[in-house]
Amino acid sequence: MTYLVTGCAGFIGSQICERLLSQNETVIGLDVFTDYYNPERKRKNLAAALKQDRFQFVEGDLAEMDLRPVIESVDCVFHTAGQPGVRGSWGSQFDLYTRNNIRATQRLLECIKETRPGVRVVYSSSSSVYGNTNQLPTSETAVPRPYSPYGATKLAAEHLCNLYHANYGVPVVSLRYFTVYGPRQRPDMAFNIFTKAILQDRPITVLGDGGQTRDFTFVGDIVAANLSASQKPVEGGIFNLGGGSRISLMGAVEILEKIIGKSARIERKERNKGDVRDTWADTTQAQTRLGYKPAVSLEEGLRQQVAWEEEALRAEGELS
């Protein structure tokens, strides 16, 4: 089979590419290298895949390019591309979120409908679609009530997947990720920021009281779930992917301190608008229908992330 991975240079997309290539699959990677964070970092994420003969890279913008030549040659799409981040989705930046999360997804689905309607799409959705839910743990039956513009655009794209499946039979699967972490994590995400700061003896900023909880999910478990969703008979399904590692933010900081062997210097600020208080995934459906079982504990996953961050900082001359 030939797989298309959109957002192939990103945190999750690049690791899906590498997992597929390790299984001797043929992969087409598509990315536009937006400037949400340093594109050079994304190019480094692609370095291993680019060495493989079975990997073809296409640089292009899902919201603008002619997708037919790519779609005609693939059997399955992992749609990880999108505009990330809750905090940046307010105000004038919202146009980027509607363009890169909604319009890009609609164009991809429309091209599949017109070109190869049997191509499966595994869509990277988000726990942000639930908002500040009172249902903890949260199952897929909970009514989505996004608490940020970002969450609203992810839900809109998920609805597009559902309606192309219902009306045209496009075999889509939506995966709602709960706070993904691990090597290659985006530089705007908390564990990346905290790890660098502690390693470099800089203060970390904790938003709010630090008692907010998240269900942290290791990136390797997310990758495994994507591959499973591409193979199981689960067309039209929506699945929560949590790591079973729900903990408070300050509890996670304590684990980082233990791994790094240094205490964090903590500064506090008011929490950002759109940040929810708690997340906790009910993964019963994913366990039952995808065979999903998180394999990496939070401490082990953070050890892997810290090791990766240390290596990256030393390579950049930012850590002795």
pLDDT over threshold 80, residue 150: yes
**Contact indicator for 239, 165 with CB cutoff of 8 Å:** no
Which tens digits make up the pLDDT trace of 281-306? Answer: 999 999 999 999 999 999 999 999 99
Let me know if residue 213 belongs to a domain: no
Average pLDDT over residues 62-70: 98
**Whole-number Å distance between alpha carbons of 29 and 6:** 6
Nearest to 63 by CA among 31, 100, 110: 100
pLDDT over threshold 80, residue 204: yes
pTM exceeds 0.85 for this model: yes
Mean pLDDT of the chain: 96
pLDDT over threshold 80, residue 320: no
pLDDT of residue 179: 97
User: Which has more confidence, 274 or 57?
Assistant: 57
pLDDT of residue 113: 98
**Contact indicator for 46, 76 with CB cutoff of 8 Å:** no
Residue 150 annotated to the active site: yes
In the set 3, 36, 130, 150, the catalytic residue is: 150
pLDDT of residue 36: 86
Number of domains the chain is built from: 1
pLDDT over threshold 90, residue 274: no
Which tens digits make up the pLDDT trace of 162-192? Answer: 999 999 999 999 999 999 999 999 999 999 9
Phi-psi region of 7 (alpha: psi -120 to 50; beta: other; left: phi over 0): left
**Whole-number Å distance between alpha carbons of 213 and 245:** 10
Let me know if residue 204 belongs to a domain: no
pLDDT over threshold 90, residue 37: no
Let me know if residue 84 belongs to a domain: yes
User: Quick one: how far is CA 315 from the chain centroid?
Assistant: 25
Let me know if residue 75 belongs to a domain: yes
Which tens digits make up the pLDDT trace of 74-112? Answer: 999 999 999 999 999 999 999 999 999 999 999 999 999
Angle, vertex CA 291, rays to CA 285 and CA 297, nearest 5: 95
Domain containing residue 157: CATH number = 3.40.50.720
Let me know if residue 70 belongs to a domain: yes
Let me know if residue 172 belongs to a domain: yes
Let me know if residue 116 belongs to a domain: yes
Average pLDDT over residues 62-77: 98
**Contact indicator for 35, 18 with CB cutoff of 8 Å:** no
Residues 6 or more apart in contact with residue 108 via CB below 8 angstroms: 6, 62, 67, 77, 79, 121
3-state class of 175 per DSSP? strand
Strand 120-126 and strand 76-79: pairing?
parallel
- Give the pLDDT band (50/70/90) at residue 272: confident
Which tens digits make up the pLDDT trace of 153-164? Answer: 999 999 999 999
Largest CA distance in the chain: 58
Let me know if residue 262 belongs to a domain: no
Find the radius of gyration of the CA atoms of the chain: 19
* Domain membership of residue 137 as a residue range: 2-181+218-244+278-294
